[in-house]
Structure 1
Amino acid sequence: MARKGVSKVRTGCVTCKTRKIKCDEGKPHCNRCTSTGRKCDGYAVPKSDWSLCRRPRHLSRGVGGAAESRALQFFCEIAGPFLPGASDPYFWTQLVMQFSNFEPVVQHSVIAISALYEQCQTETPPGTGIRDNTLALRHYNTAITELKATQNPSLVLLVCILFICIEFLQSNREAAIRHCKHGIAILENSVSTPDWAKEHLKPVFRRLSIFAYFFGSGDAEFPGLVPLDDPVPASFSNFSDARAMMDDIFSRAVRLTRYGEPYRLGHLRYADVPIGLLEEQEKLCYRLDQWQILFANLDGRLTSQNMPTAQRSDLGGEFVKSLLRLDLSICCEISRILSNMAFSGDEISYDAYLCNFRRVIEQFAHFGAITLDKARTAKRCPKFIFETGFTPMLFCVATKCRDLSIRLTALSLMKLLGVCRENLWEADTAYAVARRVIEIEHAVILNELGQPLGPPLYPGLPPDKMRVRKAWTESEELIQSNKFRQEMSGKFVRFYMRTPENTIYHHTEFLATGGIDQASESRSPLNGTRRLSGTLESFVRG
């Protein structure tokens, strides 16, 4: 006899399925729940989609002996949980580990990452080459061979992220950018992308697109951006909604800043900015206003339990909540400054954002006080994270805010809150460059603690002629001797400035980056004739 009554609910949101009622399946949250004041828990990933994702072509028989087993365990327990920084750890702690169980190309990549990560934790200087790590080299080469036979575009995307991580760990700018461009090109050309890839891979590539605009040497190296799949929601239902929209805003702000560089510093300084770029600037300002309103409404409803990183922290849920709130708030402030200043060739204009810079530092300082207290109970501290951390934000404040007290605080916070290496950002290098910019602009020498040795020539806001427009750091680590004939590791840095006649010039210095205590001995101006790689290579004086 046929069963009577309502048929079993098979589609719809999680809440409606639990209540066994028909769902209108509105996105991102159904009207059936929201109209009655209930919390809509969203939609589960379709089983068919996950079955395609997780069904093994063949079960992995393992890829080696004790060294490989140890590397996999190290990744699972230490590397994986710390790689995402303040971002959702699901990709590294769950998705990657699932695929490593049945996809040899993933397992080989994970072993290479684990071996390099452990080396990074125990050795200096950063970016030790993979050729010095036979375990990592062997498995990376094998993964590359395996990938050539892979036909699944989504699997290629996942492995592409792992390869980028491997290149980050070696501080290899060019290879990391190539992998990033390749992955984003696959996303752009894909006719259809599985839901699991949209949910877990696209956000990673959206954030990855940023670093090429910081470290790429020209337009040819810039990848496209990964747009949001859905329009701006009426409200944020969770932290992930706020994170996704801010990732989109921040990546667009960084891209606009880089595209505006010729109008600030280059041969287009006196040209009209194209209408398309001005419209993008206006859209970004509007999006930032939208985001702030939506986030303010969400912030009061956030709990430590629904934070994506809460399960991996040994510092407590409230600490994680403060960390993630800080990350988003700072991104918002910096995005607004970058967007508004994208086409301004006048460094004096940054002075209009002193209140923004002060808010950023006040938030960082408050979090820094919490960090000092919590650090005493921390079980371990990472020296490398895959995602961008706080270093570039503090670097922006230290180099673009001309209030001496604010920028000196930013400099000290770089030592406290910056991870040694955040993808391609190196804390020692960023600190050395920011420190030198402050010294140049205020005509002052800083001691080993980052404090003035004597009264600065410009204690207030420095004049425009003293302001550094841009500092470009060469990627190659070199060894030089200081005045005491002591060897120091460091990098050449170009500092771009303006003459009273409004022409752009640069001078080159060698800055020690092997340790913060070497900074006071690292300044050695060069004649500027040595050819350096950089975005401003083609500049001509005048």
Structure 2
Amino acid sequence: MAVISKSTDTIVRKRNRRAAGCVTCRIRRVKCDEGRPSCHRCTNTGRKCDGYPAPKEPAPIAYLIMAQTSSECEYIARTAFQYFREVCAPALSNYGSGHFWSRLVLQACHHDESIKHLIIAASCLGAQDYPLLQSTSSKGCPLYLSHYGRALKLLSRATSPDPAVVLMACLLLVLCNELQRKPDAAVQHILAGKNILASYTAQQQIQTSAAIAEIAPIFLQLERHTASFHGSDMTTSLPATLSDSESPSTPGSVAQVTDPGGQVDLSAPVTFTDINDAAISLQAIASACIATPRLEEPPPATVFHTVPVLTASLNSWLEHFATFEASHTEETSPFLTANHQILRMYHTILHILSRCVPYFAETGFDACTGTMERLILTSIQLVQLTPARLIPIMFFVATQCRNASIRRRAVEMLRQCGPEGRMLARIALKVVQIEERGVEEPITCADIPESKRVKVTDVQHDSLGDGYILLFRRYPYGQDTPIEYCSVSKQSMTSMDDVPSCTSLPLLLQAVLNFDFMLFWNPPDPSRSTFALPNIIAA
């Protein structure tokens, strides 16, 4: 018995050694000495050693252990659906009524699986403060990808889908893109919804459904929101009953925006008599935006969420301005067209400011990098016509966009806007240098941490009168945060043409910091950018 056992052990050892030998010895069925990198048995006999086979990787047992059970996934999905119903839907009040998000959309998911999957996907992205769903609040989480992919597959395979369901899906896709900070992808879904509406309304034999009547104004509002950079007008694609159903006011009345206490905060006339009326009305909203006291709640996550008072005021102004533009289509000239574009760009900046300034959220500007780049691209076409009115836009981009390339392009644009633009370009460049100091090769916004970002508060003349002192605060930027300062040479920012206006730099800086664009809107000659400012010097 012992001999048999020994013989068996010997056989096993020989098999293991052959299995571990080089390829050449295994083919020849001879014992290999397993020399590295080539075995001596092959090299001593003049043969080429073909090396050793790669070791086999162990089976991925860990994946089986980590995989969630079907019942666990179903429970999380039900929780995500509940989160959308109780938390998400009531907050999506900027575009669409509470009836639409809390009733129509939730009812649609009971007879269409794609809507249900998109609701769960959106909840996974937005549930950062919901304990059970915190692990899923990432665009790379398996639960989000699973439901998002299923929804797209179902939508692509539908043979004769209900137009209302497809339009709801477009809105939920826009919501998902917004939660992921992908505004360009969101715009594509908005335009897709516009095309679906146009195709639907072109079929005269189909009677407009109640759901379509409620969905169409949402796309109209979203289209207006992106009209500064996408020239198509969706109003012409909608029946009159749909496009008019959204209007909150009647001609000759005043659209009023009230705060929770019931007091009128801002008001805008339904009609603007001229472009200056529109500018004055927008400036009032800008002043309210800068003066808004600090809000403690998190900033709005998407365009579907609102900021108290400010969002409604901006929406109201945009609606009235669109009406004004539609009634003055015959009055066209390059200068008037430029003014309309600039007012829309001012509105875009106020939309961004309203979602960052009241929350002291400097990193919130990072989500608008693409929008800021489009502001520069649009300004390139207008700088020869009206450079003065571009100054507050370019200073905003240069100081609030932390993308290294975009903010430097804004500084260069400022230098093309006359003496005032060149002075402010020097201030903006100093802000860039302060924030990027100590950062190795800054490229994206994420390369500038919150601790290095600054908020400029003022600029003053130094004691000798040959330069300026730039005052600023770091995070958390509040009144309790110590004020820091740095020097800015007057010689580095002035030329002979700039000297008459240099004493007004404090006034210029306060105007751009408070987005008081009316100072730049009405210079004596907007096409030249040189305008007489009061000779105000900071004490």
Which structure is richer in relative contact order (CA contacts within 8 A, separation 6 or more)? 1
- With the length of structure 1 as denominator, give the TM-score of the two structures: 0.44
